[in-house]
Amino acid sequence: MGNRPGRRLLHELAVFEAAARAAGFSAAGRDLGMTQSAVSHHVAHLERALGATLFRRIWRGVTLTDAGAALYEAVRHGFSTIDAAVDAIRAEGRRPHLTVVTDFGFAAFWLLPRLDALKAIIGGRDVHIVTTQSSADVDLATGDAAIAFGAGVRPGFVATRLVDEEVVPVAGLSFQARQPLPALTATPLLHLDMPGAGRWLNWADYFAAQGWGAPAPAGGIVFNNYPLLIQAAIAGQGLALGWRPLVDELIARALVLPVGPSVTVGSRGYDLIVDQARARDPATLEQFRRWLLAEFKQRG
């Protein structure tokens, strides 16, 4: 990163700035909760490190030398920038918001298209979305609520089932004139490989549910990111398992086509998970829960 002596002298620079602003070591010491001799010691250390005299000592205080004035202007500007950034961060932290933790697929295909509606429901509050590779990685401590797939009920948390797992094979428009499954078993299959993979259907599970036996290998492609897998299906790279409701809008827009029957697993699905004991804004969380339930009921 190179030689950056300023970073090693931050404390001395802060003392220098206070002394320059107060035009005296005693006044700076009172501002900083330090003795006059401690201020003088830090300034002397800074002057030795820079090889320059920063102050002229006068009868009732100090005045800046040319070098001191140039340094003071730079330090004052730097500290002003830092103060502005700190104030902005604090203001953002105080601004009412709802933080939702979920996986990439749910965020990209379901939540993002509905952000305007969600913000209207919760009174215009900001919505912060924290995404993870999969629901297996969801850290419930990082948000107000989590929308997780197959996470189950954890001690101290309350889970509300939003939708059961429902999977339908989908393909891009290039497969429109071809036969549906299982006649397409020679087509490359797109696979999802992420932590916790046993918690959702894979191609072997899907074929078994249809009584078709094991899928034949046909140069399949493996992804660890569901949005990328779906993009590959849209591009005609193979067949994908489409989780509903994530692919519902893509099907409605004819970006992908269902090419086989759906399979539903009622024992798992997407759940809204909250820790009511540490909820910052229970009323907003309840509005969020009711909105989600209404959205999924409308879908059904």
pLDDT in tens, 13-36: 999 999 998 889 999 999 889 999
- On whether the CB atoms of residues 151 and 273 are closer than 8 A, the answer is yes
pLDDT value of position 180: 59
* CA-to-CA dists, residue 263 to 133, 139, 164, angstroms: 24, 29, 10
Q: Which residues of 135-165 are buried (b: 16+ CB within 10 A; e: fewer)?
A: bbebebeebbbbbbbbbeeeeebbeeebbeb
* CA-to-CA dists, residue 89 to 85, 126, 205, angstroms: 6, 14, 48
Query: 2 falls in which pLDDT band (50, 70, 90)?
Result: very low
pLDDT in tens, 268-277: 899 998 887 7
Give me the helices (H) in the chain, please. 5-8, 10-22, 25-32, 36-50, 66-94, 104-106, 115-121, 203-210, 226-234, 248-252, 282-299
Residues 106 and 202 in one domain: yes
Say yes or no to pLDDT of 70 above 50. yes
pLDDT value of position 93: 58
Please say which residue of 93, 120, 135 terminates a domain. 93
pLDDT value of position 256: 92
Structurally, the chain folds into a number of domains equal to 2
Residues 123 and 243 in one domain: yes
| Token code pair at residue 263 | 């399979």
Residues 74 and 109 in one domain: no
Q: What percent of the chain has pLDDT over 90?
A: 37
Residues 190 and 255 in one domain: yes
Q: How many CB atoms lie within 10 A of CB 80?
A: 10
Query: How confident is the model over 133-150, as a mean pLDDT?
Result: 74
Residues 170 and 294 in one domain: yes
Residues 149 and 180 in one domain: yes
- On whether the CB atoms of residues 160 and 271 are closer than 8 A, the answer is yes
Say yes or no to pLDDT of 136 above 60. no
pLDDT value of position 134: 62
pLDDT in tens, 248-263: 999 999 999 898 889 9
pLDDT value of position 167: 94
pLDDT value of position 14: 92
Please say which residue of 93, 118, 151 terminates a domain. 93
More confident residue, 194 or 300: 194
CATH number of the domain at 85, please: 1.10.10.10
Structural domain boundaries, residue 232: 98-299
Residues 37 and 172 in one domain: no
End-to-end, the C-alpha distance of the chain in Å comes to 56
Q: What share of the chain is helix, strand, coil (3-state, %, to 5)?
A: 45, 25, 30
pLDDT in tens, 174-210: 775 555 566 655 678 898 887 666 678 888 899 888 8
Nearest Cα to 165, choosing from 241, 221, 103, 111? Answer: 241
Phi, psi of 102 (to 5 degrees): -160, 180
pLDDT value of position 91: 62
For 220, the 3-state DSSP assignment is: coil
pLDDT value of position 110: 94
Q: What percent of the chain has pLDDT over 70?
A: 84
Residues 226 and 127 in one domain: yes
Of the ranges 6-10, 121-125, 175-179, which one carries the lowest mean pLDDT score? 175-179
pTM above 0.75, yes or no: no
